[in-house]
A and B are shown apart, each in its own frame.
Chain A
Amino acid sequence: MSEIKLEKLDDNRWLLPRTGAMRVPGIIYANEKIFDLLKNDESAKQVANVAHLPGIINYSLAMPDIHWGYGFPIGGVAAFDLETGVVSPGGVGYDINCGCRLMATELTLHDIKDKIKDLTTALYQRIPSGVGSTGHVKLSGKDQKKVLEEGAGWAVKNGFGSLQDLETTEDGGCLSGADPEQVSARALERGKQQLGTLGSGNHFLEIEAVQEIFDEKAAQAFGLHKGQIVIMIHTGSRGLGYQICDDYLALMVKHQPETGIVLPDRQLACTYLASQRGRNYLAAMACGANYAWANRQILMHLTREVIEKTLRIAPRELGMRLVYDVCHNIAKIELFNIAGVEKKLCVHRKGATRAFPAGHEAVPSRYRSVGQPVLIPGDMGTGSYVLVAQEKAMSETFGSACHGAGRVMSRTQAIKTSRGRSISREMADQGVLVMAGGKGTLSEEMPEAYKNLNDVVAVVHEAGVARKVARLKSIACIKG
């Protein structure tokens, strides 16, 4: 990032001053340690590039898990005026509504410690993962349209879970405005076979134990206590979302000259929110988001069935309950106070989690007194964090927090670094049983490939964006 000069605002924030054709300055959430890592890649430049887009409000933001993406940085947040601003498929990402789902159980580590291998094997066999995997749910054209329109609600209606699950899913598991007519035949085709699958790459299903509680009141509201077994799922809209993004990206690149918008990177291709093409993309994106929620809902149900069967316990004994489901690749129309005026904006979160504080009407009623749960998975060895959104998220980050640890090592570097080592054995030594399909997956996903999750979480905690509630330790991990 040689040409980018950042100015330290405080211990956790850096200002990227407005230069050239940037319409607003940038702000990167980082402490000194994370700031040092920024020097290794192009992510700060990407924050500056996003600031070139028309109608951007206040700042081009990046969360502390920032790393080099394409177009937007991963960890990027940008809000746009509905009349003068744009929507960019690349600012949402290929995996529309990629997100995390955390399920609590009544089990403790003591209950399962002798059965971890059986459980993990059973989950690995039952939950389709890896390249080209297909799901147990085969969709007819009519059903698929309903999935795209209704999201997690469709899954619940069809026997995958309960209505209660929808209450603690972001947006109730259904983004409004979905129009399957705006989704291509190719995207629909890819989606038919993949509902109820995990996918490959960094997607996972983890058995975790609550290791430490930082905030008793919030933990109690979320139903979390020390020693408890919880399950984290990280996946998204699979091939359907990728195809929607790719189709609209191609379309917007093709028609970019007509918009008159000059872009520093073609991957930032965009169109005005007020245009027909912009509305069509949002309607198609909502379909992708709903598919992802249905996907995670089905995976939760399959997980519940596998655990009950393997441990031979009744649903009441397992007591599986959805703590929360968040999406971290999305564009949403949300209300914010901008210079004293309530304004609807289109917030792009590209690898960033929504974080609405206590009292916000979008926070499920049972959590409204404490705030929205923010789920932050880390690398395989570290586990995850649960945070609770704070007031500053509304005033500073358009209701957003980080979404993970963020990569620090490229996949090729990780594969090189891991050569001659058994990552699965190293993980086992750390008390994490890992099962993965793809040959390179474990090497690419080795813990050293990621930033230190504790550092990333400390930044949002200290910056007043989201407060630490609980730390979760990985016990077993399934990867594609």
Chain B
Amino acid sequence: MPKYKLFDHTADIGVAVTGRTRKELFVNAAQAVFAIMIANRIDRQGAQRQKTIIVEGSDIADLLINFLREILYLFNGEALIVEDCHIQECSNQRLVAKLLVEPYSKEKYSTKMELKAVTYHGLSVERIKNGWIARVIFDV
């Protein structure tokens, strides 16, 4: 099944992300963020480095929002693109993610849409037959 799908929201943008496992759901959510924002990468030579983040939440939906919050901050606050994401540990309240990040520059990446924040509105994370599905609305 596709990893993520956009759904309509008048002012902003909704994303439905799926994953066979909880870990995969989080990885696919991180990938969706950058797939929506970045049109293409112009130069493949980059100074990639690793970064580990630890995120907590009151439940799996809150954990997902806080994880996406961190991912977006890396872009908006530290100008870093997440090129790869590996979830090392994941419960419903806490996760440890190992990220491969690369500095963003206008010369290297072309952008198509800026995701400015992740919202709680219409948020859901559910178990489905083949794994997990999450619905998240981003402010753009």
Contacts and interface: CB of A to CB of B under 8 A. Distances in A.
Nearest to A40: B10
Contacts of B76: 190, 239, 242-243
Given A411-B13, A413-B8, A438-B111, A266 B123 contact: yes
A246 B112 CA distance: 23
Nearest to A480: B114
10 contacts: A130-B111, A132-B79, A190-B77, A242-B117, A249-B120, A250-B69, A253-B120, A266-B123, A267-B121, A439-B111
B106 A438 contact: no
A243 B70 CA distance: 11
Contacts of B39: 439
Contact of B117 (A41, A94, A265): A94
Contacts of A74: 11
Q: Chain B interface secondary structure, helix, strand, loop or mixed?
A: loop
Given A67-B10, A70-B12, A253-B62, A186 B77 contact: yes
Interface in B1-40: 6-13, 37, 39
Contacts of A239: 76-77
Contact of B119 (A43, A67, A71): A71
Contacts of B123: 266
Given A74-B11, A132-B79, A242-B116, A411 B111 contact: no
Range of interface residues on chain B? 35 or more
B110 interface: yes
A342 to B, nearest CB: 35
Contact of A267 (B66, B104, B120): B120
B82 interface: no
A249 B10 CA distance: 22
B138 to A, nearest CB: 9
B137 interface: yes
Interface string B65-76: 010010001001
A439 B40 CA distance: 11
Contact of B77 (A243, A407, A411): A243
B117 A189 contact: no
A287 to B, nearest CB: 17
Contact of B10 (A41, A242, A243, A245): A41
Contact of A189 (B7, B77, B112): B77
Contact of A410 (B9, B37, B62, B114): B9
B73 A186 contact: yes
A92 to B, nearest CB: 13
Nearest to B119: A70
B126 interface: no
Given A410-B9, A411-B140, A438 B113 contact: yes
B101 to A, nearest CB: 15
B112 A439 contact: yes
Q: Which of A70, A95, A246, A266 has the most CB of B within 10 A?
A: A70
Nearest to A245: B117
B36 to A, nearest CB: 10
Nearest to A249: B120
Nearest to B61: A266
Contacts of B7: 412
Contact of B111 (A69, A131, A243): A131
A265 B121 contact: yes
A47 interface: no
Interface residues of A, number: 44
A201 interface: yes
Contacts of B122: 70, 265
Top 4 A-B pairs, shortest CB-CB distance: A70-B121, A266-B120, A68-B10, A267-B121
Contacts of A41: 10
A374 to B, nearest CB: 21
A461 B137 CA distance: 34
Nearest to A43: B10
Given A132-B79, A438-B112, A410 B8 contact: yes
A408 interface: yes
Contacts of B77: 186, 189-190, 239, 243
Nearest to B113: A440
Interface string B107-140: 0001111101101111100000000000001011
Contacts of A266: 120-121, 123
A198 B8 CA distance: 26
A409 interface: yes
Contacts of B9: 68, 410
Contacts of B104: 132
A38 to B, nearest CB: 11
A143 B62 CA distance: 36
Contact of A201 (B73, B112, B140): B140
Contact of A438 (B11, B114, B137): B114
